[in-house]
Chains A and B, each alone.
Chain A
Amino acid sequence: MSFDNPYEALTEDNDARWAFGTGFEDPLAGVDRTVPDGVDPAGLAAYCLMLGDDALILSHRLQEWCTHAPELEDEVAIANIGLDLLGQARLLLARAGAAEGRDGGEDHYAFFRDEPEFRNVRLAELERGDFAELVARLLVFSAWRLALLTRLAGSRDPVLAAVADKGVKEVTYHRGYAAEWAIRLGDGTDHSHERMAAGLATVWPYVGELFATHPVERALAEAGVGVDPAGLRGEFDDVLAQVLRAATLDVPDLGPAAGVSGRTGRDGVHTEAMGHLLAELQSVARAHPGATW
């Protein structure tokens, strides 16, 4: 059989094999999405968007590393970590859509919300830096998210509990990858030590925000559905201390990055980097709504 171009041969007989454009299958197809008794569906949706946006936005930053990583092995590792987070984001956005009774939730949330509607922590969106900055960001993010998902696995919402339980296995690998690179660079040459310390200093002002409890998080934690991030700080500090000691690095002595009148990522107030990121993430879907190709 002959084809006009190689893509035709790839898609012969079986378009569903290829993930083009929008219109993906619902990742929660067949999963019971009933909202548990006594849980406010709008609150549950808002909470899922927070955790889903964290994963979606950091996944996008990781995808920017494709073809830019220092070695092939790290190229593959970073892409895999980005894919894991994208998978978590899809499940969480789909869970938000189901709670709100919105069809096609994940596409809507990813591509058609504006910046103030995104509720990710600002750490996820920061401009892409060098490899050491990536390692620092991934270490901080994974240590925090793993502590969060471990607790979320006991959620009263069976969908969130299942997503979290699965995520624990994945993020354990992410944290291990980042920790090992932090040690290799920190305890490496003078130059790599300096770069690793600088990377850590770049992301550190955004650490405090990870443990600030938003009213949505507080309400969902009280309902036994979500996790209050304030309770994660002890575990986070222990893990970071273990890694930084082995990496011969100090905890940066830096205050938190200012928000706007105290409002930060969870309130929909972002850094300048966010608009540029969303422009790239959303432009094609917005130019061709509903397109598949």
Chain B
Amino acid sequence: MVSARRDARTVAESVTDPELPMLTLADLGVLRSVSEADGRVVVAITPTYSGCPAMGAMRDDLERALRAAGYADVEIRTVLSPAWSSDWISEDGRRKLADAGIAPPGAAPPRPPGPVPLTLGPPVHRVTCPRCGSPDTEEVSRFGATACRALRRCRTCAEPFEHVKEI
């Protein structure tokens, strides 16, 4: 039987993040897989940070969207490994962040085996101001309104802005 339902993957991919509503869960890279067999949909998501309080809302939103699309049997699974990386934010997601005035992350730091070296002082990578495009910006606080964001200020246009951290 040919179903008129939207494909489960398309539905799941269109659900937005509760904390960064300009991004879909697919843009953010937390949507890890969607599989459909015999009418049963299994969606796997991964938390950005261990304490991410939005996980409950994500599960809920996914389940509601899939049910609304006609899928009665929905299971949302958590996957912990591999750990989420800001590198998983899509190109589309990065553009949407910048459009919303949030600087997207640069490349996540490499993790060679062995002890994590202690680096003191501001991170070496440049963050461009999402408002005026100036590369002359400074970190105000490494921790922001959510675990995944830092606070920065532009030295050219003097505006504060948020920056999605590299992890």
Q: Mark B119-149, 1 if CB is under 8 A from A, else 0.
A: 1110000000000000000001111110100
Our pick among A14, A86, A159, A172 for the contact of B51 (Cβ within 8 Å) is A86
Cβ of A260 under 8 Å from chain B: no
- CB contacts (< 8 Å) of A175 on chain B: these are 118
- CB contacts (< 8 Å) of B144 on chain A: these are 76, 80
Known: A27-B55, A83-B51. A91 touches B116 (CB 8 A): no
B41 to chain A, nearest CB (A): 13
Interface residues contributed by chain B, number (CB under 8 Å) = 41
Pick from B65-73, B79-87, B96-104 the stretch touching chain A.
B79-87
Complex: how many Å from CA A84 to CA B83? 14
Complex: how many Å from CA A161 to CA B56? 23
Our pick among A84, A88, A146 for the contact of B147 (Cβ within 8 Å) is A84
Contact A90 B82 (CB under 8 A): no
Cβ of A117 under 8 Å from chain B: no
Q: Mark A69-80, 1 if CB is under 8 A from B, else 0.
A: 000011011011
Cβ of A29 under 8 Å from chain B: yes
Contact A76 B141 (CB under 8 A): yes
Our pick among B44, B75, B78, B120 for the contact of A28 (Cβ within 8 Å) is B78
Pick from A118-126, A162-170, A213-221 the stretch touching chain B.
A162-170
Cβ of A16 under 8 Å from chain B: yes
Interface residues contributed by chain A, number (CB under 8 Å) = 54
Cβ of A223 under 8 Å from chain B: no
- Residue in chain A with minimal CB distance to B46: A166
Complex: how many Å from CA A76 to CA B142? 9
A232 to chain B, nearest CB (A): 10
Contact B119 A176 (CB under 8 A): yes
Beta-carbon contacts under 8 Å, A26-73 to B: 27-31, 73
Complex: how many Å from CA A180 to CA B119? 10
Complex: how many Å from CA A88 to CA B83? 13
Complex: how many Å from CA A175 to CA B119? 10
Contact B76 A29 (CB under 8 A): yes
Q: Which 5 residue pairs spanning A and B have beta carbons closest together? A: A87-B51, A30-B77, A87-B50, A73-B141, A162-B80
- CB contacts (< 8 Å) of B77 on chain A: these are 29-31
Contact B51 A176 (CB under 8 A): no
- Residue in chain A with minimal CB distance to B82: A165
Cβ of A246 under 8 Å from chain B: yes
Complex: how many Å from CA A165 to CA B151? 25
* 27 residue pairs bridging A and B, Cβ less than 8 Å apart: A16-B60, A17-B57, A25-B55, A29-B76, A30-B75, A30-B77, A76-B143, A76-B151, A77-B143, A79-B143, A80-B144, A83-B49, A83-B53, A83-B147, A87-B49, A150-B114, A165-B82, A166-B49, A169-B83, A170-B147, A173-B142, A173-B143, A176-B120, A180-B120, A180-B121, A238-B115, A239-B118
Contact B44 A73 (CB under 8 A): no
